[in-house]
Amino acid sequence: MSIDLGSENFDSFLKTIDILYVEDEDSVRELLEKRLAKHFGTIYSAPNGEVGLYKFETYRPRIVVTDIRMPIMNGIEMLKAIKEKSQDARAIVTTAHSDSEYMIQSIDIGIDKYIVKPVNVDTLVTAIKKIAIGFYNEDMSKEYQRQRAQEKIIESTKNVFEQISNSIPSPLALFKDGKSVFMNEKFLELFSTERITDLSNGRIDLDGAFDIDNESSVDVNKKVEIKLPNGRKKIFNPSKVFLSIDSENDSALYHLKDITSVEYQNIKLKNYTDILYDILRLKNSAQTKQTEPSNVEKKDLGELITAQELEALKRSHTYKTSAAEYTADMPMELLEELDELKELEFEIDELLDSAEREELRAVTEKLGAKFNSYAKAIGKLVDFEDLAIAVRNLGNYLGAIPDNEEINWSRLLSSIQNIRFDLSSWRQMIFVDKNAVDIHYLDSSLLSSCIQAQLGASKKNIEFQDVNELELF
């Protein structure tokens, strides 16, 4: 490799080359020390081989320049000791014509250059630079190999990152210097082609769009509403963290946690109090009417809302237990048994799909059996006995609807469909994802929904707010 000895890069490299200069003549040593310091890195000087060997062991300079004839320890003895300690050290010997005996000895040591005394400074500087070319090429080769290895590591990291990211159900996007590096499949699904193009070109400020601080931000209370390409909307909890993928800059990883279902349930829970008041008001109204309530009213309000259900509705869970905590000590056998809930949900879906093709009373009877099975599985969990009661009462109702009873089938099937969705969400968040902050977050809503399904189906003239029909979007 050809190197321009006067190039800026090479001159900068020379400043990294430390030199040991050993000379017993003080005036010569001091003069050359100052001249060498203008071109190279640190110059270590010594008046004899003994001091020179000590300084080499201490500082490990890459090049040694030494006289041969010196007191205490001569240059040849010193270089022998240095070569035993480091074969990488390069040596230049300054010698007089009469030192032929020592010169022969130095051949065996491996001297790189001989310079006849008195030493010409320019000649010495040029000799050192030529030796430095070898170091330069060696270092550049190591740097190139290091960079290639780093690039391979980065590329491998990115490939692994992409594979892992695409297996995660949450939208992820990696940005570097404000430009898109990678977006996983869920992130691409979230936005239209036009928005993706804007993001790829860096024309959209994600921090501004998601109201995220410039620093790493993980705020569980932060929410952003995003309209999907299909026109629907979802609610996400956005966060940003910095990843050190390469040595130059940090990359920002944006994560969007889908909290649509949670927010949906929160809305339902907020409306639960009003629903409970409506139910209690209806019962109280029937009890305080001057005229005797009809048989249908008595059945709806007296039988369908049992004392057990009312107690369950009014009961509050003071102490919150997270899903992670709840399932941590749960026997694996019990968790495996709960897998049957997913199969029951599938069977309920099949029955609901067949409702239009089959006799509705026959379908609801079958649905009643499935909900009773669901309640039996839930009943194995002491913490959810209230929920099991509500689902079982619904199953009993569906399985024994009198032939002569007037039923709003559309309302009933719609309520059942929403209850099935809520049960699936409840099972997923507690026993699968295990991300529910409180295992009882959906109890009240499901309890009231089961009661409402019965009330709304058996009496058409009673209207009340059905939270199961609430839609965010």
Kindly list the domain boundaries of the chain, sorted by start residue.
Answer: 8-142, 168-258, 261-469
* Phi, psi (degrees; rounded to nearest 5) at 179: -110, 145
- Alpha-carbon distance 103 to 94, whole Å? 10
Is there a cis peptide before residue 238, judged by omega within 30 degrees of 0? no
Q: Is CATH 3.40.50.2300 the right assignment for the domain spanning 8-142?
A: yes
- Alpha-carbon distance 171 to 9, whole Å? 45
CA 87 to each of CA 62, 63, 83, 84: distance values in angstroms, whole numbers, following the listed order: 10, 11, 5, 7
pTM for the model: 0.37
pLDDT in tens, the chain (473 residues): 455 555 677 888 888 899 999 999 999 999 999 999 999 999 999 999 999 999 999 999 999 999 988 989 999 899 999 988 888 889 999 887 666 666 666 666 778 888 888 889 999 999 999 888 888 888 777 776 777 776 676 666 666 667 777 767 778 888 877 777 778 888 888 777 777 777 767 667 777 777 777 666 677 678 888 877 766 678 888 888 877 655 455 678 888 888 876 676 565 555 555 555 555 555 555 555 544 444 444 344 444 455 555 555 444 444 467 888 888 767 777 777 778 888 888 899 888 888 777 788 888 889 999 999 998 888 877 678 778 888 888 888 888 887 777 788 888 888 888 888 888 888 888 888 888 888 877 777 777 778 777 776 654 433 333 333 323 22
Which residues make Cβ contacts (< 8 Å) with residue 165, sequence separation at least 6? 172, 182, 184
At residue 224, the pLDDT reads 83
90, 50, 92: which is closest to 73 by C-alpha? Answer: 50
310, 320, 286, 353: which is closest to 450 by C-alpha? Answer: 310
Tokens of 353: 């799909």
25, 77, 27, 64: which is closest to 47 by C-alpha? Answer: 25
Tokens of 321: 């237990």
At residue 108, the pLDDT reads 67
At residue 12, the pLDDT reads 84
What is the Cβ-side half-sphere exposure of residue 97, based on CA atoms within 13 angstroms?
0
At residue 23, the pLDDT reads 94
- Alpha-carbon distance 321 to 435, whole Å? 11
Walk across the sheet containing 63-67 and list its strands.
Answer: 43-46, 19-22, 63-67, 90-95, 113-116
The one-letter amino acid code at 43 reads: I
**Which CATH code for domain 168-258?**
3.30.450.20
84, 138, 139, 131: which is closest to 112 by C-alpha? Answer: 131
> Can you spell out the DSSP letters for 400-448?
T--TTS---HHHHHHHHHHHHHHHHHHHIIIIIS---SSTTTTHHHHHH
Q: Tokens 């910095």: give the residue.
A: 242
- Alpha-carbon distance 183 to 201, whole Å? 13
At residue 222, the pLDDT reads 82
CA 243 to each of CA 167, 170, 178, 202, 203: distance values in angstroms, whole numbers, following the listed order: 19, 18, 14, 19, 22
Consecutive H or E run containing 90: strand 90-95
The one-letter amino acid code at 20 reads: L
At residue 186, the pLDDT reads 82
- Alpha-carbon distance 424 to 322, whole Å? 18
At residue 47, the pLDDT reads 94
At residue 231, the pLDDT reads 66
At residue 439, the pLDDT reads 82
* Phi, psi (degrees; rounded to nearest 5) at 169: -75, -5
- Alpha-carbon distance 114 to 96, whole Å? 10
47, 109, 115: which is closest to 77 by C-alpha? Answer: 109
| CB atoms closer than 10 angstroms to residue 181 | 16
- Alpha-carbon distance 44 to 61, whole Å? 8
Please give the distance of CA 214 from its chain centroid, rounded to a whole number.
18
At residue 57, the pLDDT reads 92
